[in-house]
Amino acid sequence: MEQYGSDPLWAMFGYIGLNWRNAQECDMSESQFYEAVNWQVGLDPAYNGYYAAAIGEYNYLLAKFGDPQQALRVLFQENQLPNPKLPAVANHVLLEFMRWQVAFGGFRAFSYMNYNGWMGGGSYLNVPPPYRALT
Domain boundaries, the chain: 8-113
CA distance 49 to 99: 20
Q: Is the pTM of this model over 0.95?
A: no
* Furthest-apart CA atoms within the chain: distance in Å: 59
pLDDT for residue 4: 45
CA distance 93 to 102: 14
pLDDT for residue 105: 76
pLDDT for residue 120: 45
Report residues of the chain scoring pLDDT below 50.
1-5, 115-126, 129-135
CA distance 75 to 85: 9
Q: Are 78 and 61 in contact (CB under 8 A)?
A: no
pLDDT for residue 115: 47
Based on the number of CB atoms within 10 Å of its own CB, is 108 exposed (0-12), middle (13-18) or buried (19 or more)? Answer: middle
Helices vs strands, H then E, count in the chain? 6, 0
Using one digit for the tens of pLDDT, what is the confidence trace for 101-128? Answer: 888 876 665 555 554 444 444 444 445 5
pLDDT for residue 79: 93
pLDDT for residue 65: 98
pLDDT for residue 107: 64
